[in-house]
Amino acid sequence: METKDFIDFGKAAIELIANYTENLREMNVLPNVEPGYLSKLLPEEAPQKPESWQEVLKDVERYILPGTTHWNSPNFYAFYPTGNSYPAVIGDLLCNSIGGIGLSWISSPVCTELEVIVMNWLGKSLALPDEFLNCNGSRGGGVIEGSASETTLLCLLTAKEQTVRYIKNLHPEWEEGFIKAKLVAYTSDQSNSSVEKGAKLASVIMKFLTTDEKYALRGETLLKAVKEDLKNGLIPCCVIATLGTTGTCAFDNLKELGPICKEYNIWLHIDAAYAGSAFICPEYRYLMCGIEYADSFNVNAHKWMLINFDCSLLWVKDSKKFTEAFNVDRIYLKHNKPGLPDFRNWQISLGRRFRSLKVWFVLRIYGIEGIQNYIRHTIELAKMFENYVKSDSRFEMITERSMGLCCFRIKGDDCLTKELIDRLTNGKKIFVTAGMCRDKIIVRFVVGCRLSREEDITFAWREITSHTTEILKSLKHSPVKEESFKSTNDIVTRIECLNLESKTQKIT
Amino acid sequence: METKDFIDFGKAAIELIANYTENLREMNVLPNVEPGYLSKLLPEEAPQKPESWQEVLKDVERYILPGTTHWNSPNFYAFYPTGNSYPAVIGDLLCNSIGGIGLSWISSPVCTELEVIVMNWLGKSLALPDEFLNCNGSRGGGVIEGSASETTLLCLLTAKEQTVRYIKNLHPEWEEGFIKAKLVAYTSDQSNSSVEKGAKLASVIMKFLTTDEKYALRGETLLKAVKEDLKNGLIPCCVIATLGTTGTCAFDNLKELGPICKEYNIWLHIDAAYAGSAFICPEYRYLMCGIEYADSFNVNAHKWMLINFDCSLLWVKDSKKFTEAFNVDRIYLKHNKPGLPDFRNWQISLGRRFRSLKVWFVLRIYGIEGIQNYIRHTIELAKMFENYVKSDSRFEMITERSMGLCCFRIKGDDCLTKELIDRLTNGKKIFVTAGMCRDKIIVRFVVGCRLSREEDITFAWREITSHTTEILKSLKHSPVKEESFKSTNDIVTRIECLNLESKTQKIT
């Protein structure tokens, strides 16, 4: 493709994106396709001959967008949000066009240097302790990774390596394999699935500790587990604490966990994937109290900081410890040492994109104030939603709203809430996800879209209440008595039979 | 930022990219900056207030491009190339703008479905055995990962898991930790550093086996190692074979390695990160002879297939085995099973980008023929370079040219070649990297840029020969005799003192 065609192509793509974004509110958030839809539309083999870019852009509208779940729609309240903004999109466009791979300083100096700078900027903006910053030859510093899963895995591996070295020092006669098999790590029963996965990948025993009534991991629980494991000959090596759990956005008690980790020489990693972005607002920093005990701290800027996936921020206090497990140098990677980090040794992959460019674009074009405004705005909208829920006696908040997340359910049997979620999903107007809280099904409703306005919250609430009215009415008119609200099995069976198994049938 | 501003911003960025690309040939490929340059130019804290996009784009030209190593320059011959093309850039622009996260089918149906389709397209285009394709409920299939490092790690972990299960079945009384500590994997002494790193991360003993005179791993060597390890109570679990090594683009002998892996129940993973793209041209498929024995096969489309980083293609024959080690499901990830893969279980991270979109753009706008033409063209240029080297008696090719890679050196002492690389790097006109072949320093010269033309090769050769002439002349005029060509230490010390340690001093 010639550059003159690229200019037309690129500008047409920019127009397409602008249109798409402007129309997001009007489109169904969930697509109207059945599994396998696309294989019926596309050929079985790649084209031999070139096709025109005009045809491909048309096919984006014909085949791609109709099968897309619109994560940037203001009607998207599922999972946690994915960050998105025009400056981030253009920043990444330039990153891709320049296209260098930051293997080492010389492989693209700006790639290493801008990353150090924006990670220091962000570290200061989140009020992290100075030990996490890269300055004046300190051992601390930040790096942009691909995901919280990756950071958790890396920190687990670091903890493993460090503990093996420590124990080997105490007991030189013990074999490494013997030590490794005895390592144990801790997290709460509310932590993200990536923690479980990380432990599997790292071959570390992970204990999922019970949380308190607010779903927070407490010191007492950790201490008991550590003592018991030590008694049984196990070796505690890592705690993965969460600030803002996936289920209910709960905050583990760092003030209590931290000193225990110090005492027992346990690596403390903080997964603040979602909620960490809020620490850019001083009023939420009380929730990170105890951060000074952490060895590593992670925030997914690609969730709630207007930056596109992937952009997972990781800070460590001692980068030497952190990289000891991964450093594998070869001659073609050697370069004149510039006193700057070799970020390839801070991650799983050798290659790395120039991700700091999009961060820089967002920080400059929004400014810290712009990001603060966005976060505060989404929290205000979540409060508005919370008030709706609390004002309707048919519903209950199962926990207090936390950040942009409201967890609620229809009072009574689980099948009602399950039915609500199914009807919302089938209706495709708003997208929420199910959660589980102490054996009860809940609706997780997260406000995070940068386009969200009050009218969107009102629209979502209208959707939720009208479906709920229908669900409850269908129960009343059914042969099953209203009391069966409490006798679960019948209703579950009935509603599941009518609606879940055979999606086409409606209760009216 | 409002959409109307984005349109202007986006179009200005497209113009900037077009200009940048058109000027690539005229710019020095290496930047003229010293380590730490950027921290002197940018403020120490992120801006509080928003700045205009115009200012930021200006700063891209002011601060970012001057610190960039231009990987897409036709004067870039270092490492292996990074894929880049206008269609890929625009495909990824749309991916970022749509911005969904493919956690599961419903989280964005098109994200899963297009990936299955393009991975089948590519699998067929590379003539992979049908078992690697996803069709009619087969267990095979392809997935797009972030890097070859990631795929190696995942395959090692899979091999580990499968072998533990297999051995546990034979010896139910053995503890898992005991089995894991005995697992051993094999690769050649020429394999990429990511294999060593993967083994470290996966806690598997990795044996680096000696290669033959063509730097290929042979069956005999593997068999001997396996038998010896079995005798010593170790348990072979994985072989990582390379098609196109990083050092010299050598090809391990799959025909010999495959049957041994089958006989001893060893997972065979093929790392064809660079050279794999060439199998899109039928004339190179003889090099993948024996592929039918592989359990998994990896090509970095982001190297030599005109697709931007990251886009690492992995195919497996048995996806059930592959995902058994990673599958961690939670309620918020549940959805109606569509008979399509849940790619989150095929990778380390939970989140995933819609990377198949850029692949689709490239395959359609170039067509298979377009990619074949590009690959053949770069190989032709490498042949042209090879002829230059062979025609000049001062140089020797240390191996035969392989694909786009020529490995050569100045005849005589290593210090001459080292000096040549240093002068080229300091000159910033062309970028090559050093390699090591059987204890000799070589220049790795890889042709891969889609903009490369014959005149670029001629220019590079002129650079190389004029520096070489100078280096050899300076030796002649020095007090050290010409014979000292063979008595390394003096020259090394002298040249290193004059040039390497104190960069400012010149030998003339």
pLDDT-wise least confident of A257-266, A334-343, B171-180: A334-343
Any A CB within 8 A of B147 CB: yes
pLDDT for A508: 25
As a three-state string, the secondary structure of B215-256 is CCCCHHHHHHHHHHHHHCCCEEEEEEEEECCCCCCCECCHHH
* Tally of domains in chain A: 1
pLDDT for A338: 52
Helix, strand or coil for residue A366?
helix
Distance to chain A for B458, nearest Cα, Å: 23
Other CB atoms within 10 A of residue B477 CB: 10
Question: Which of left, alpha, beta for B265 (phi over 0: left; psi -120 to 50: alpha)?
Answer: left
How far is Cα B37 from Cα B426, in angstroms, rounded to an integer?
17
For B246, the token pair is 């990083």
How far is Cα A107 from Cα B73, in angstroms, rounded to an integer?
13
As a three-state string, the secondary structure of A239-301 is EEEEECCCCCCCECCHHHHHHHHHHCCCEEEEECCCHHHHHHCHHHHHHHCCHHHCCEEEEEH
pLDDT for A437: 86
Residue A57 has pLDDT above 70, yes or no: yes
> What confidence tier does A77 reach under pLDDT thresholds 50, 70, 90?
very high
Residue A80 has pLDDT above 60, yes or no: yes
Which of B2, B54, B96, B330 to mutate: most A Cβ within 10 Å?
B96
Question: Which of left, alpha, beta for A306 (phi over 0: left; psi -120 to 50: alpha)?
Answer: left
Residue A331 has pLDDT above 60, yes or no: no
ipTM, two decimals: 0.92
Distance to chain A for B45, nearest Cα, Å: 5
- What are φ and ψ of residue A218, in 5° steps? -110, 160
Of the candidates B116, B200, B435, the beta carbon closest to that of A326 is on B200
pLDDT for B437: 86
How far is Cα A155 from Cα A147, in angstroms, rounded to an integer?
13
Residue A313: DSSP 8-state: E
Interchain CB distance below 8 Å, A79 and B107: yes
Note whether residue A482 is domain-resident: no
Say if residues B67 and A340 touch (Cβ distance below 8 Å): no
For B79, the token pair is 């490492």
CA distances to A76, A244, A400, B334, B336 from A396, rounded to whole Å, are 21, 21, 10, 23, 27
Interchain CB distance below 8 Å, B35 and A340: yes
> pLDDT by residue for chain B (508 residues), tens digit each?
999 999 999 999 999 999 999 999 999 999 999 999 999 999 999 999 999 999 999 999 999 999 999 999 999 999 999 999 999 999 999 999 998 898 889 999 999 999 999 999 999 999 999 999 998 778 999 999 999 999 999 999 999 999 999 999 999 999 888 899 899 999 999 999 999 999 988 989 999 999 999 999 999 999 999 999 999 999 999 999 999 999 999 999 999 999 999 999 999 999 999 999 999 999 999 999 999 999 999 999 999 999 999 999 999 999 999 988 776 655 555 544 456 898 998 999 988 999 999 999 999 999 999 999 999 999 999 999 999 999 999 999 999 999 999 999 999 999 999 999 999 999 999 999 999 887 899 999 999 999 999 999 999 999 999 999 999 999 877 644 444 333 333 333 333 323 222 222 222 2
Residues in A closer than 8 angstroms to B331, CB to CB, are: 434-436, 441
| CA-atom Rg of chain B in angstroms | 25
Residues in B closer than 8 angstroms to A178, CB to CB, are: 177, 181
Any B CB within 8 A of A263 CB: no
Residues in A closer than 8 angstroms to B37, CB to CB, are: 109, 113
Using CA of residue B433, residue B459, residue B497, residue B474, what is the dihedral sign? Answer: positive
Closest listed residue to residue A290, CA positions, set A257, A248, A325: A257
Query: What's the pTM?
Result: 0.93
CA distances to A35, A502, B109, B340 from B337, rounded to whole Å, are 9, 14, 12, 8
Residues in A closer than 8 angstroms to B64, CB to CB, are: 94, 98, 110, 114, 357
Distance to chain B for A472, nearest Cα, Å: 24
Beta strand residue intervals within B134-277, DSSP E = 141-145, 183-188, 205-209, 235-242, 267-271
Distance to chain B for A245, nearest Cα, Å: 13
- Give residues 417 to 456 of A whose Cβ lies within 8 Å of B: 425, 433-436, 441, 444
Which of A19, A57, A86, A502 to mutate: most B Cβ within 10 Å?
A86
Distance to chain B for A43, nearest Cα, Å: 9
Closest listed residue to residue B77, CA positions, set B500, B462, B456: B456
Residues in A closer than 8 angstroms to B338, CB to CB, are: 34-36
- Tens-digit pLDDT profile for residues A202-214: 989 999 999 999 9
Nearest CA in chain A to B100: A71
For B422, the token pair is 């240093």
Note whether residue A389 is domain-resident: no
State the CATH number of the domain containing residue A258: 3.40.640.10
Nearest CA in chain A to B311: A351
- What are φ and ψ of residue A37, in 5° steps? -60, -40
Range of the domain at B296: 100-353
Which of A8, A28, A41, A56 to mutate: most B Cβ within 10 Å?
A56
Say if residues B18 and B10 touch (Cβ distance below 8 Å): no
Question: What's the N-to-C CA distance of chain A in angstroms?
Answer: 57
Using CA of residue B72, residue B78, residue B79, residue B81, what is the dihedral sign? Answer: positive
Any B CB within 8 A of A97 CB: yes
Residues in B closer than 8 angstroms to A47, CB to CB, are: 363-364, 367-368
Note whether residue B216 is domain-resident: yes
Note whether residue A390 is domain-resident: no
Question: Can you name the residues that pair with B188 across neighbouring β-strands?
Answer: B209
Note whether residue A188 is domain-resident: yes
Of the candidates A13, A53, A69, the beta carbon closest to that of B365 is on A53
Of the candidates B11, B48, B68, the beta carbon closest to that of A108 is on B68
Residues in A closer than 8 angstroms to B122, CB to CB, are: 46
Question: What's the N-to-C CA distance of chain B in angstroms?
Answer: 56
Residues in B closer than 8 angstroms to A107, CB to CB, are: 69, 78-79
Residue A502 has pLDDT above 80, yes or no: no
Question: Can you name the residues that pair with A92 across neighbouring β-strands?
Answer: none
Interchain CB distance below 8 Å, A434 and B332: yes
Other CB atoms within 10 A of residue A60 CB: 22
* Maximum distance among all Cα pairs of chain B, rounded to whole angstroms: 80
Note whether residue B289 is domain-resident: yes
B312 sits in which H/E element:
strand B312-316
Any A CB within 8 A of B118 CB: yes
The answer for residues whose C-beta is within 8 angstroms of residue A387's C-beta and 6 or more apart is none
Nearest CA in chain A to B346: A197
Any A CB within 8 A of B282 CB: no
Any A CB within 8 A of B353 CB: yes
pLDDT for A356: 98
pLDDT averaged over chain A?
91
